[in-house]
Amino acid sequence: MCKILVIEDDANIRSNIVEMLEDEGYKVLEAQNGAVGVQLAQVHLPDLILCDVMMPEIDGYGVLKILRQTPSTALIPFVYVTAKTDKSDLRQGMNLGADDYLTKPFTRLELLDAITARLVKQATASEHYSDQIRQLEEKFNTLLHFDSTTGLPNHLSFQDHFDTTIAEAAAPHSQFAVLCLKLYQFERVRTTFEESLVDQILQAITAQIKTCVTEQDTIVRLVGDQFALLLARSAQDEDGTEQAQSILTSLTQPLKLEGQTFYLNPRIGIACYPEDASNASALLKRAELAASYAQQQINQPCELFRAELATSSADAILLEQQLREALERSEFRLYYQPQIDLTTHHTIGAEALIRWEHPEKGMVSPARFMPLAEETSLILPIGEWVLRTACAQMVDWQQANYPINRISVNLSTRQFNQPDLVQRFSQILQETGLSPEFLKLEITESCLIENPQAAIATLTRLKELGIQIAIDDFGTGYSSLSYLKQFPFDTLKVDQYFVRGIHEDPKNIEIVRAIIQMAHNLGLKVIAEGVETELELVCLMQCQCNEVQGYFFSRPLPVVEFEKLLNNSHESPTAR
């Protein structure tokens, strides 16, 4: 059902318009003044807006100006309904971006014709945008999920191929092996020779591997010197060691290209499904662990995973106990990393990042304790502490007149799935005194994929509070435009995987440019994380990225150091 917002301060006129539209089957939202109209438009994103010009506080021109400056509402068809007929008034509205004018009094037919004309034009434009987006998505997905040098699926495709291997297995209890192939001399080759020759080497390696596997097996290029293989297990080769040995025999031979001879020093680690692990990530990690162990052996280039190779669980148990005590002992700290507006080159926001200051071990890496917190549900009280502390800090900065417009907080999957999430957030905002529009929540796709409809409902309620929503680590999981179009995001955050070394790889530039173009077409702002060099920054500016963060500007800082940075925020690296 088409949704129309009517902004009119005259109750009788508004009532007549609403009645006519509802008779025609439209869903109608009403606003008695410009301020309410802006709020309703930003929350509900109507298909068309009818707006009076002369209203108290915010008039029709002010409403349109605000909506055209907001990405999510900038393209909504906007029709003025006014008694003003002077050409200068009409021109003022058209200059602001109005789509049409209706002069009071008007007939029912004039109103419906104007609405139909604008909706048809919008539908045509939307169809054109959809075609463009579909083409970009196809190109984007190819760039994103396949390695352009070898033509192999890349690390982002590993999970999909893992799931397919399980689904297509003939036996009810499928069995297969994951091989991790590492080439321990490849990095030296990569840094010594030209890129074109390195690409030829990779292509030759891929061809050799293909001769050692069947059509049912899958080869994936993970990163520079590392490949993964999904191999069906047979009675003749139960653990994949025979195929692994065949690959090693082939790759151990010297590779000759362009008058050069290359020795790659291959090592293979093997993990078996389902004995060693039942999910793709754990299975691959165990195969990698076995390959690393094989590297340490002189005459054993292939190694099967076994329990003794895994890190002792005793350390994990102790760490969990200490993690439970850390919150009570106030051992957690928040560090803040600045987010830079690429139009003004000033700090406009900060991402709050947790750190654990252990009394004996010093700073414990979040990479070590956050997965444990997520597994044990400790993430719930820790996450609430982070949110409350970040909101209170933002209020302190506002009261001290620091030049910062928002605070960004990461939201874990367990937090997002709490049934009372919205009430908790509303309460924290009230208790800390922070207005919702100054808070941005960063969520990953893992929060959304289990129950998309429930996720949409939760995000919509958060948006109704006034909180901003960003999709984090875009491009590293199941990212697609279907998510962007389906969920009420404000911002897309490009993962650092695509940012690092972007100036060295035209393929990455093409991917990032496609992501940014798609996001802008959908009315989203884009922020890129992990910017470490000026060349990376220049590439992102050329791709019209809106905001950035990374070590080129600043590492995450404790409060005192961050405040010093804010005091000097008008002197960013881009201006030096």
C-alpha distances (whole Å) from 331 to each of 148, 358, 381, 391 are 46, 6, 14, 19
Q: Which of 434, 445, 494, 436 is nearest to 468 (CA)?
A: 436
pLDDT of residue 573: 41
pLDDT of residue 437: 95
pLDDT of residue 260: 86
C-alpha distances (whole Å) from 403 to each of 82, 340, 555 are 40, 12, 19
DSSP assignment of 332-398:
EEEEEEEEEETTT-SEEEEEEEEEEEETTTEEEPHHHHHHHHHHHTTHHHHHHHHHHHHHHHHHHHH
Cβ neighbours of residue 163 closer than 8 Å, sequence gap 6 or more: 280
- Cα separation, 105 vs 557, in Å, equals 61
- Cα separation, 60 vs 97, in Å, equals 12
DSSP assignment of 72-98:
TTTTS-EEEEES---HHHHHHHHHHT-
Domains and CATH numbers, the chain: 3-128 (3.40.50.2300), 155-310 (3.30.70.270), 324-575 (3.20.20.450)
- Cα separation, 206 vs 312, in Å, equals 36
pLDDT of residue 157: 84
C-alpha distances (whole Å) from 321 to each of 63, 152, 361, 381 are 55, 43, 14, 15
- Burial degree of 367 (CB within 10 A; 0-12, 13-18, 19+): exposed
Fill in the DSSP letter of residue 307.
Answer: G
Is residue 49 within 8 A of residue 28, CB to CB? The reply is no
β 218-223/27-31 pair status: unpaired
- Cα separation, 118 vs 48, in Å, equals 8
pLDDT of residue 333: 95
pLDDT of residue 171: 54
- Cα separation, 576 vs 570, in Å, equals 10
- Cα separation, 478 vs 157, in Å, equals 9
User: Across the 576 residues of the chain, what is the mean pLDDT of every consecutive 10-residue run?
Assistant: 93 94 94 94 94 92 92 91 82 90 91 93 83 80 85 87 73 76 85 88 94 90 89 69 92 88 89 86 88 78 83 64 89 96 94 93 85 83 96 96 94 90 96 96 82 88 94 66 76 88 83 89 92 94 96 95 84 40
pLDDT of residue 429: 97
- Cα separation, 349 vs 86, in Å, equals 43
Is residue 493 within 8 A of residue 470, CB to CB? The reply is yes
